[in-house]
Structure 1
Amino acid sequence: MRALTIRQPWADAIAHGTKRTENRSWPAPAKHIGTRILIHAAAAEDRKPRPSRDVPRDLTGGFGIWPDTRSAIIAVATLVGCHFDTGCCTPWGMDGYFHWELTDVTALPEPLPAKGALGFWTPHEDIVNAALRQDTAVAW
């Protein structure tokens, strides 16, 4: 199972909010489409969080709404698709980026500390197993 590191507040917006589009400058690898992935909250926050299109300010995170966990696996999701921006995916899709489509997001009750990496990366087997145990314990 692969993990994707996402800076805050966007990782929390996926795990605890309604964000189901991850914006990337590169397309999702085809081999990962249709697979469960781990959502890792980066150690650093997005220094210039810019809401995409018309995201209400209270949904952009980092304002006391979500836990703001750092350097940890915080959710499991299914990556179901990827497409280039066509003015779609409101309110979370950003102009000029690839939109990675996420579904079946499960926030982990207990975040799992882990050092992340750029792009997709493979966490230690113990982390994956702990995340999967939590994922199956939480009703979708």
Structure 2
Amino acid sequence: MRALTIRQPWAGAIVHQTKRVENRTWKLPAAHHGTRILIHAGAQPDRDAQVQGPHLDVFSAIVGIATITDCHWADEWDCCGPWAFNQTYHWTLGDVIALPEPIPAKGALGFWTPTEEAVNAALRQDTAVAW
């Protein structure tokens, strides 16, 4: 299982709010379409973000799990809702769950492979979450 590092407050907005699109400057590699990934909150916040709410203060930790369901280029604002930016690739996310206990982990740029212990800890929490 791979992980994707996302700066706060965006990682928190994905797992605890309604953000279901990740804006990226690069196209999703075909191998990752339809895969389940871990959502990792990066060590540094996006200081320009204007998002408020609970659970946005966790850093350097795996905070959720999601499935990447689609990727497309967007030429207009809001094609995927209020979180979607213009002139970016939109990676749409489904089956998003927040982990009850964040798992400390050092992230990386792009997709990265977490330790086996971190993956197992996340999957144990995934099965414990009531759907």
| Over 4 Å off, 4+ runs | none
Any stretches of 5+ residues in structure 1 without a counterpart? 51-59
Would you say 1:84 and 2:90 are equivalent positions? no
Identity of counterpart residues, as a percentage? Answer: 64
TM-score w.r.t. structure 2 length?
A: 0.94
Partner deviation per Cα, 1:91-125 (whole Å, 9 max, x = no partner)? 11000100000001010000000000000000000
User: Which residue is equivalent to 1:55?
Assistant: none
SS of corresponding position for 2:43: strand
Number of corresponding residues: 128
- Counterparts in 2 of 1:60-71, with a 5 A limit? 60-61=51-52, 65-67=53-55, 68-71=57-60
In 2: Cα distance, 1:137 partner to 1:78 partner:
18
Work out which of the residue numbers 88, 99, 109 in structure 2 matches 1:97: 88
Matched, 1:29 2:29: yes
Name the amino acid aligned to 2:65: V
Alpha-carbon separation, structure 2, partners of 1:86 and 1:136: 38
- Structure 2 gap ranges (5+): none
Aligned residue number for residue 137 of structure 1: 128
